[in-house]
């Protein structure tokens, strides 16, 4: 078991990584208020809800079980959390506990940020993607039919509990989707970690506990360092959006839940690498290394054929990363060194949008 802190002054919080943590009451106890509401979904509840409730028995926790899927990350579903809190007469001295993947973490965090103008919450991520990315950093929110994560708030958790044993229940597709976010963080700031991933991917895919713990901790530490420097994404933190401008367009264009978030991000990383090459930054061998790692991780390297250049441009025009009317792209100068720029010639962007399409095997 390992732990370290995200150092944000009064809003600092620990991240615990290890095994058999989901049911460990001693980990939760220092961060719980007198009322506790566990928010989970129909898939995760049968696996872990009873274990968490036993760990929190002294707090007599209540729970709300949401439908599972990105398509349910909406204001309508968010309201069901508020209804549960109000029905149970929860006051400001309460803690929400997000038990599930990225959708549950995001929607629970936003509920906590909004309920009675802000209450505490704890992240207990049960997917690889949530453990290495969405549970850390305080980004919370829901989707709108016109754009992903367009409604939300920055609201830091009090605690993150990443139990790697929960990853054994993931299917291969969900696990691969989490690998996309690990690859992303290595690409934007940690070249030695990227090389480690190239060497150790088979062990990671076999879910070796020691290798998993190392990868999750390395990814989380990288993200935590960025969050500490730029909590509200005024500069450096934007690097964490590598692949997301293209990826969010794919998710919105296909319909939420058609592609997993990590799959869309992976295709976006491939597109960002292609655009970086066209701008004269990355070399072809570097782009090939990126595409090869994505392929070995079981992730797409192209956008779906039905996503036309026009549909990409229309959807990216309402992305929250728009600044001054221009799309801000996270690109790569080299492996391990990302940058943010809005200075992208339209012809080069068009070339990337035209050539990085037609992914086989996914909808």
Give the residue among 286, 295, 290 at the shortest CA–CA distance from 360: 295
Give me the half-sphere count of Cα atoms (radius 13 Å) on the Cβ side of residue 55. 20
Our answer to whether residue 184 is catalytic in this structure is no
* Share in percent of the chain as helix, strand, coil (round to 5): 50, 20, 30
The one catalytic residue among 73, 155, 244, 302? 244
Q: How far apart are CA 171 and CA 133, in angstroms?
A: 19
Place of tokens 């802000």: 118
Q: Which two tokens stand for residue 280?
A: 């004269």
Our answer to whether residue 33 is catalytic in this structure is no
Q: How far apart are CA 276 and CA 330, in angstroms?
A: 9
Our answer to whether residue 223 is catalytic in this structure is yes
Find out whether 253 and 307 touch, Cβ atoms under 8 Å.
yes
Residue 274 DSSP SS3 = helix
Q: Which two tokens stand for residue 321?
A: 């990363």
Our answer to whether residue 144 is catalytic in this structure is no
The one catalytic residue among 233, 251, 263, 286? 233
The one catalytic residue among 73, 139, 148, 289? 139
Our answer to whether residue 241 is catalytic in this structure is yes
The one catalytic residue among 148, 184, 218, 261? 261
Q: How far apart are CA 227 and CA 246, in angstroms?
A: 22
Q: What is the dihedral of CA 103, 106, 108, 114, to 10 degrees?
A: -140
Q: How far apart are CA 360 and CA 194, in angstroms?
A: 26
Give me the half-sphere count of Cα atoms (radius 13 Å) on the Cβ side of residue 342. 11
The one catalytic residue among 155, 248, 320, 357? 248
Q: Which two tokens stand for residue 302?
A: 């192209």
The one catalytic residue among 41, 73, 181, 231? 181
Strands (E) across the chain are located at 2-6, 13-18, 35-41, 62-66, 94-100, 120-125, 139-144, 147-154, 159-163, 322-323, 326-327, 329-334, 337-341
Find out whether 327 and 319 touch, Cβ atoms under 8 Å.
yes
Our answer to whether residue 181 is catalytic in this structure is yes
Our answer to whether residue 158 is catalytic in this structure is no
Q: How far apart are CA 163 and CA 141, in angstroms?
A: 23
The one catalytic residue among 184, 237, 302, 357? 237
Find out whether 256 and 73 touch, Cβ atoms under 8 Å.
yes
The catalytic residues are 117, 139, 181, 223, 233, 237, 241, 244, 248, 261
């Amino acid at each position: 078991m390992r732990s370290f802190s995200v150092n944000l002054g009064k809003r600092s919080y620990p991240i615990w990584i290890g095994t058999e943590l989901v049911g460990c009451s001693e980990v939760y106890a220092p961060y719980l208020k007198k009322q506790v509401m566990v928010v989970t979904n129909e898939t995760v509840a049968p696996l872990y809800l009873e274990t968490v409730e036993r760990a929190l028995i002294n707090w007599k926790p209540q729970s709300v079980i949401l439908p599972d899927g990105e398509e349910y990350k909406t204001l309508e579903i968010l309201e069901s959390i508020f209804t549960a809190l109000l029905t149970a007469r929860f006051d400001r001295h309460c803690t929400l506990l997000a038990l599930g993947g990225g959708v549950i973490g995001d929607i629970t965090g936003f509920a906590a940020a909004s309920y009675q103008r802000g209450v505490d919450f704890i992240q207990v991520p049960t997917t690889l993607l949530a453990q290495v990315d969405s549970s850390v950093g305080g980004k919370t929110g829901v989707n709108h039919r016109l754009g992903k994560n367009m409604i939300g708030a920055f609201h830091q958790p009090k605690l993150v509990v990443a139990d790697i044993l929960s990853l054994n229940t993931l299917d291969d597709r969900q696990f691969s989707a989490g690998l996309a976010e690990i690859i992303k963080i290595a690409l934007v700031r940690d070249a030695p970690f990227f090389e480690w991933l190239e060497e150790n991917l088979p062990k990671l895919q076999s879910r070796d506990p020691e290798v998993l713990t190392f990868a999750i901790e390395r990814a989380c530490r990288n993200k935590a360092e960025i969050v500490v420097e730029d909590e509200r994404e005024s500069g450096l933190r934007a690097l964490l959006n590598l692949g997301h401008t293209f990826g969010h367009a794919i998710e919105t264009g296909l319909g939420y839940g058609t592609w997993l978030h990590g799959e869309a991000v992976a295709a976006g990383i491939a597109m960002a690498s292609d655009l970086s090459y066209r701008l004269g930054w990355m070399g072809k061998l570097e782009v090939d290394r990126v595409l090869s790692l994505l392929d070995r991780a079981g992730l797409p390297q192209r956008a779906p054929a039905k996503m036309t250049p026009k549909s990409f441009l229309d959807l990216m025009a309402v992305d929250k990363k728009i600044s001054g009317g221009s799309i801000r792209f996270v690109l790569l100068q080299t492996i391990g060194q990302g940058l943010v720029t809005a200075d992208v010639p339209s012809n080069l962007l068009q070339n990337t949008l035209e050539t990085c399409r037609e992914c086989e095997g996914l909808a």
